[in-house]
């Protein structure tokens, strides 16, 4: 080889190396536009590397491209706290010593706060914990609609109203993503029960789809700018939601212009061809049902793994769809793991404990308070009996994917003891959630627990019963639904026995669902306390003692009996279906829309919640009486705190169209505002509502229509407590 030729070879090699280096520097350069970095990275990837990015490599991660320095995507459950680390290919905990998190309240509690500012605090705090743990994707929030009180996963969601869910989800998502962690909004869509969730085919009208079940997802995408979406397990109109052409391609990616990544639920993928063409970007958890301990097939056998690669090589598939998937996954990586100025995060900090407590306090709902039974100031009583298994049971463990390993948990008993003193608080279990009703000795134990609780209550000045549901199977838990609305573990008998002994009884329900209350008329005070996380006991004690005035409102209606619920009023085909198919026969009349229209009195109405003070509403007024369809309605009214205690009221604005060409609910929530008032203080509340928000979805023209005519706006303390009305016309 002559010297000249050798120099040419070396020169060519150097030029090639420099070009490759320059290309790599382009996609690594965080100062370049993301789309430019994406296209550069794609140009350097092999088909094998692209396909490899589209499926899992472990229980909670998917591959990057090591050759190019593109990192893996690491995900974490759940919406209420950062899940413990698990083994690479198992669900079992890896027994790390530094992965115990802060447990934040369940999302039912967050929704009950009716406070978007507290939702932003929630997102900021949990986003910081996810970032500290090195996670790129937080698998939450969940925004599926509360359709039935039997749904085992309702506690993870934000209630029955699409407007409330939308307004609470957006700040959560935005605050999470400011930490360089993607929110993964779930479960898209119509995942409204756990029973038969892997197979049930949901049939629902276009109106109900667009008016009830999609708005929170749309707000998450259009306003929250969510970076990822998780598909649901169930089918919709014959296609599984994780590869559903209508939901993912037409609605999500075309109509809403979603530019993020669609991630499957674990085990939610069923077909390679549909996964290629119908909008799925990343396949997770296939070959398991999402709950089993180990996989049954290698990750290379996933539908979007070797079968996809072989289909491309054989000419069955082109790389057009593949490149779109990889673009979205790269965009997710560049927004998170490879983002510039990504904050460091923090973990189990004092600030997070304070946030968890504040969220819990604002979400607790005072449902009943006769004769001012509550609050119980410190020093008022010498002996307070605390009864109930939920006073001592951990309520952050169990429930499926939201189960947490926490750094600490203040139970209700611990919180009350810290507030009133151990010499004042006398505890008795009353019932046990660990007993097996089929065993003869269980009845003896149950009778003994009840007798002991009654004796403790007899010698007390006041009794606080802490019960409700828990995260056990067939309760508030992923995987299946509740089997009835009744309280489990014979709690109704315990409450009745306590009442027969001591009438000064406060009942605290820890649950994510409504329950039957045959004893309601006899008890003087009732609190709905949800699942409150690490600071549960401190929050409950602050409310009970009066240190914090309750202000939460119910994010869903409590029916008196199961048959009063819309989904259950139409029989098996409406819920739970025939194992293959179900029909949402109540259509748009979900929750309070159903109770209002059918004139059924609920146990407690949507938006209901009391305070230790009282409020007086002024008459609602608007800036004019006639509006065009593009106008904004400016309304106002006064609220006065007429009591002697500082407090907060959540004023709700409902809109109705008395004469419409289609069925419309009696009223629909269109705005709310939390108002903080000193004792005796009056404030004027001013709210703006876009006339376009009066629209209904026209399933014939596939458009949102505002009809000309009269609309009624009302201010209200709940859906059943309207204060005043005003009529406006739209032309």
pLDDT grade for 289, boundaries at 50, 70 and 90:
low
Within 8 A by CB and 6+ apart from 729, the residues are: 625, 626, 627, 708, 709, 710, 711
The pLDDT score that the predictor gives to residue 16 is: 39
**What are 344's two structure tokens?**
């460091």
**What are 628's two structure tokens?**
């065009």
The pLDDT score that the predictor gives to residue 386 is: 98
**What are 730's two structure tokens?**
């739209």
Q: How far is Cα 569 from Cα 109, in angstroms, rounded to an integer?
A: 27
| Alpha-carbon distance values, 137 to 279, 304, 329, 609 (Å) | 19, 20, 11, 35
**Phi, psi dihedral angles at 721 (to 5 degrees):** -135, 70
The pLDDT score that the predictor gives to residue 3 is: 56
Side-by-side strand order, sheet with 235-236: 239-240, 235-236, 201-203, 581-583
110-145 pLDDT, tens digit each? 999 999 999 999 999 999 999 999 999 999 999 999
The pLDDT score that the predictor gives to residue 23 is: 57
**Phi, psi dihedral angles at 276 (to 5 degrees):** -70, -45
6-15 pLDDT, tens digit each? 554 444 444 3
41-99 pLDDT, tens digit each? 999 999 999 999 999 999 999 999 999 999 999 999 978 999 999 998 888 899 999 99
More confident residue, 301 or 609: 609
Which of 49, 648, 608 lies closest to 326, judged by CA?
49
Q: Using an 8 Å Cβ cutoff, are 651 and 624 in contact?
A: no
Average pLDDT over residues 530-556: 98
Q: How far is Cα 140 from Cα 106, in angstroms, rounded to an integer?
A: 11
**Integer-rounded Cα radius of gyration of the chain:** 27
348-405 pLDDT, tens digit each? 999 999 999 999 999 999 999 999 999 999 999 999 999 999 999 999 999 999 999 9
Q: Residue 526: is its pLDDT beyond 90?
A: yes
Q: Using an 8 Å Cβ cutoff, are 452 and 429 in contact?
A: yes
Buried b (16+ CB within 10 A) or exposed e, 279-303: bbbbbbbbbbebeeeebeeebeebb
| Alpha-carbon distance values, 203 to 13, 153, 538, 575 (Å) | 61, 20, 44, 12
Q: Is the preceding peptide bond at 189 cis, omega within 30 degrees of 0?
A: yes
Q: Using an 8 Å Cβ cutoff, are 198 and 256 in contact?
A: no
Distance of CA 618 to the CA centre of its chain: 34
The pLDDT score that the predictor gives to residue 14 is: 40
**What are 564's two structure tokens?**
């009063």
Which of 104, 131, 98 lies closest to 118, judged by CA?
104
Q: How far is Cα 622 from Cα 687, in angstroms, rounded to an integer?
A: 10
Bridge partners for 703 per DSSP: 698
The pLDDT score that the predictor gives to residue 292 is: 55
Q: How far is Cα 252 from Cα 245, in angstroms, rounded to an integer?
A: 10
pLDDT grade for 565, boundaries at 50, 70 and 90:
very high
Which of 664, 518, 679, 697 lies closest to 611, judged by CA?
679
CB neighbourhood size of 474 (10 A) = 16
The pLDDT score that the predictor gives to residue 409 is: 98
Q: Residue 296: is its pLDDT beyond 80?
A: no
The rounded mean pLDDT for the chain is: 94
209 SS3 class: helix
Catalytic residue among 77, 99, 161, 265: 265
Q: Residue 577: is its pLDDT beyond 90?
A: yes
135-171 pLDDT, tens digit each? 999 999 999 999 999 999 999 999 999 999 999 999 9
Q: How far is Cα 450 from Cα 430, in angstroms, rounded to an integer?
A: 5
35 is catalytic: no
Within 8 A by CB and 6+ apart from 75, the residues are: 60, 61, 135, 136, 137, 138, 139, 184, 263, 284
Length of the chain: 731
SS (H, E, C) 531-575: CCHHHHHHHHHHHHHCCCCCCCCCCCCECCCHHHCCCCCCCCCCC
Which of 636, 112, 160, 32 lies closest to 361, judged by CA?
112
């Amino acid at each position: 080889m002559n010297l000249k030729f050798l120099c040419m070879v070396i020169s060519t090699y150097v030029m090639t190396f420099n070009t490759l280096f320059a290309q790599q520097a382009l996609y690594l350069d965080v100062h370049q536009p993301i789309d430019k970095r994406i296209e550069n990275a794609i140009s350097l990837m092999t088909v094998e590397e692209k396909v490899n990015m589209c499926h899992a490599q472990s229980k909670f991660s998917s591959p990057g491209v090591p050759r190019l320095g593109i990192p893996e995507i690491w995900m974490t459950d759940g919406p209420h706290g950062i899940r413990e680390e698990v083994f690479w290919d198992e669900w079992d905990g890896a027994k790390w010593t530094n992965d115990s998190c802060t447990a934040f309240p369940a999302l039912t509690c967050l929704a009950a706060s009716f406070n978007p500012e507290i939702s932003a605090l929630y997102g900021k705090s949990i986003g910081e914990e996810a970032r500290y743990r090195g996670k790129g994707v937080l698998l939450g929030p969940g925004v599926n609609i509360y359709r039935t009180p039997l749904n085992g996963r309702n506690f993870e969601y934000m209630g029955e109203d699409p407007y409330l869910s939308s307004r609470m989800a957006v700040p959560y998502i935005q605050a999470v993503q400011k930490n360089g962690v993607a929110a993964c909004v779930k479960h898209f869509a119509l995942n409204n029960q756990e029973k038969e969730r892997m197979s049930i085919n949901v049939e629902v009208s276009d109106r109900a789809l667009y008016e009830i079940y999609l708005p929170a997802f749309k707000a998450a995408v259009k306003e929250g700018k969510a970076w990822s979406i998780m598909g649901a397990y169930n089918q919709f109109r014959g296609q599984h939601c994780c590869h559903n052409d209508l939901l993912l391609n037409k609605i999500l990616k075309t109509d809403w212009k979603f530019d993020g990544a669609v991630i499957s639920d674990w085990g939610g993928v069923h077909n390679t061809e549909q996964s290629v063409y119908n909008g799925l970007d990343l396949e997770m958890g296939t070959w398991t049902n999402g709950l089993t301990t180990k996989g049954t097939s290698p990750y290379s056998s996933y539908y979007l793994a070797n079968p996809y690669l072989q289909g491309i090589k054989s000419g069955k598939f082109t790389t057009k769809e593949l490149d779109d998937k990889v673009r979205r996954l790269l965009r997710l990586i560049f927004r998170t793991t490879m983002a510039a100025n990504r904050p460091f995060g923090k973990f189990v900090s004092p600030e997070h404990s304070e946030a968890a407590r504040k969220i819990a306090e604002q979400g607790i709902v005072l449902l009943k308070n006769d004769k001012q039974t509550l609050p119980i100031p410190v020093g008022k009583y010498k002996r307070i009996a605390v009864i109930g298994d939920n006073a001592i049971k951990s309520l952050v463990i169990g429930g499926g994917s939201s189960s947490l390993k926490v750094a600490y948990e203040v139970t209700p008993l611990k919180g009350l003891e810290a507030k009133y003193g151990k010499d004042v608080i006398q505890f008795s279990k009353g019932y046990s959630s660990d007993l097996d009703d089929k065993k003869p000795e269980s009845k003896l134990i149950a009778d003994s627990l009840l007798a002991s609780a009654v004796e403790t209550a007899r010698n007390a000045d006041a009794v606080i019963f802490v019960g409700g549901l828990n995260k056990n199977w067939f309760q508030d838990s992923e995987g299946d639904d509740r089997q009835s609305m009744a309280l489990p573990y014979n709690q109704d008998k315990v409450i009745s026995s306590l009442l027969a002994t001591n009438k000064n009884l406060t009942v605290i329900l820890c649950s994510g669902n409504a329950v039957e209350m045959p004893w309601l008329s006899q008890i003087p005070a009732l609190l709905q306390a949800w699942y409150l996380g690490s600071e549960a006991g401190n929050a409950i004690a602050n409310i009970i003692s009066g240190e914090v005035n309750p202000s939460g409102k119910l994010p869903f209606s409590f029916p008196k009996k199961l048959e009063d619920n819309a989904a259950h009023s139409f029989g098996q085909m409406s819920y739970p279906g025939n194992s293959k198919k179900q029909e949402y026969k109540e259509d748009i009349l979900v929750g309070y829309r159903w109770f209002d229209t059918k004139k059924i009195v609920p146990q407690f109405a949507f938006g209901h919640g009391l305070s230790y003070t009282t409020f007086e509403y002024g008459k609602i007024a608007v800036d004019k009486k006639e509006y065009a369809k593009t106008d904004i309605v400016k309304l106002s009214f006064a609220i006065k705190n007429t009591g002697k205690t500082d407090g907060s009221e959540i004023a709700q604005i409902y809109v109705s169209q008395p004469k419409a060409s289609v069925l419309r609910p009696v009223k629909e929530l269109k705005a709310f505002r939390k108002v903080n008032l000193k004792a005796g203080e009056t404030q004027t509340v001013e709210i703006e509502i876009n006339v376009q928000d009066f629209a209904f979805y026209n399933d014939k023209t596939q458009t949102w229509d505002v009809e000309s005519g009269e609309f009624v706006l009302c201010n209200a303390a709940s859906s059943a407590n309207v204060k005043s009305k005003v009529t406006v016309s739209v032309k």
